[in-house]
Amino acid sequence: MKLRQSHRQSPIALAIASICLLGIESCNHAGYGQREASSLDCAKTTHVKSSAESSSTDAGPPPCGLPVELWHPEWPKSLTATLDRELEPAPPDAITFVLLPDTQYYAHCRYPHLRNQGNWIAEQRAQRQILTAITLGDLTDRNTPEEWAFFRDALAPITQGFPLLLTTGNHDLGNDGTTDSRESLLSNYFDEKWAQSNGALRAVMTPGHIENAFYSLNAGRYRLGVLMLEWSPRRITVEWANQVLTRFKDHRVIVATHAYTYDDSTRYDRATRPDQQWSPLDYHTAEGAFAEDGNHDGEQLWNDLVRRHPGIFMVVSGHVLGQGTGRLTSRGNAGNAVHQVLVNYQMLDQGGLGYLRFFEIHPDGRTVHMKTYSPSLRLYSYAADQDFRLEIDPPLRHTD
């Protein structure tokens, strides 16, 4: 069982070629770009270069997705240490959470990966005891009706009767996703009534809207909650969240928000780290009259919310480019370990190549195994920042 590196017939290359041979819309989409139109003939392709095979002379920003001005040649275009099998399946009675970070380019470019992710979750739900799929914001790129409709339709297998948890990122807000306001089309497609149908919703901050919501999951022996928070949570949002977590103090909780952990495994902290790129306090939502709302970055959210609640054991976020990964563990006021995990794949080819993160909580209530998998490529990544273990401290306790 050799870990595959990129060879002439790499798994990534073969998978992308298969996508084309199957006639999936990513090759034919009008926004796919001239470079791909000339290099990927969907009728004839038998091999496609992966980024590791490409020389520096033909490396460049993707034709549809990551803007040219953001692209950096040192960022990964595919993941390493990949294998087409799961080396360590979960033990019996483990429960699973799926994370879907920054799907914006799937929605904008109409790539098939989001649909593949939804299908995989639906197919694996019973076998892996998947309790929920947690999105991390930037569900769309431009906050347009077309992108939201694509997002909804692509995830159709898990939009009914399953806790699909949604919140907003900066690209889900304002005109053309520019954060010139906090208006989002999210509630036009997924509202409170829709969320109530999955049976897990317990509280929302704003009637009819779900970007700030608390869910209680059917975890059998454990009381587990997920707190979904909007992009750069406002002061009023954090006040509401403190009240909700006090109300559900018997739950162990995962907090999900778009921008919190940076890719150097620190929290976003504008006060002491002005060098951090893409800080939520650098966007329009933190300027002018919006500044009066008291927008939060990671460090502010840690101090004003996360560290205060002994039930919180994890914070998950996306947003950050670069390597798209990072994690740190901090102790809350009560001594509880809080694992803060960044996961983002949007800088990879085709906006992420279908990679998602999922983590298993073992029956001991202590062990968390984080894994990375692409249903599109049918590959796991065993790189150190993609496959690792965490320890819940104090461990989860059985309910009576």
Query: In CATH, what number is assigned to the domain containing residue 257?
Result: 3.60.21.10
Place of tokens 């149908």: 197
Instruction: For residue 254, report the phi and psi dihedrals to the nearest 5 degrees.
Output: -110, 130
Question: One digit per residue, pLDDT tens: the chain, 400 residues?
Answer: 433 233 333 444 444 444 443 333 333 333 323 223 222 222 222 222 333 333 333 456 667 888 888 889 999 999 999 999 999 999 999 999 999 999 999 999 999 999 999 999 999 999 999 999 999 999 999 999 999 999 999 999 999 999 999 999 999 999 999 999 999 999 999 999 999 999 999 999 999 999 999 999 988 889 999 999 999 999 999 999 999 999 999 999 999 999 999 999 999 999 999 999 999 999 999 999 999 999 999 999 999 999 999 999 999 999 999 999 999 999 999 999 999 999 999 999 999 999 999 999 999 999 999 999 999 999 999 999 999 999 999 999 987 6
Best CA proximity match to 382, nearest among 95, 90, 2: 2
Place of tokens 């520019």: 178
The number of distinct structural domains making up the chain is 1
Q: Which residues contact 294 (CB under 8 A, 6 or more apart)?
A: 234, 235, 236, 238
In a domain, 181, yes or no: yes
For residue 106, tell me if it sits in a domain. Answer: yes
Q: What is the pLDDT of residue 24?
A: 38
**Tokens coding 322:** 């670069």
The reply to whether 217 falls in a domain is yes
Residue 277 counted as domain residue: yes
Distance CA 72, CA 16 (A): 22
Structural domain span for residue 261: 83-391
Q: How many Cβ atoms sit within 10 Å of the Cβ of residue 30?
A: 10
Does any domain span residue 49? Answer: no
Please tell me the pTM assigned to this model.
Answer: 0.87
Q: What is the pLDDT of residue 223?
A: 94
116 assigned to some structural domain: yes
Helix or strand holding residue 119 (H, E): helix 113-128
In a domain, 67, yes or no: no
Question: Is residue 14 situated within a structural domain?
Answer: no
Both structure tokens of 229: 């928070």
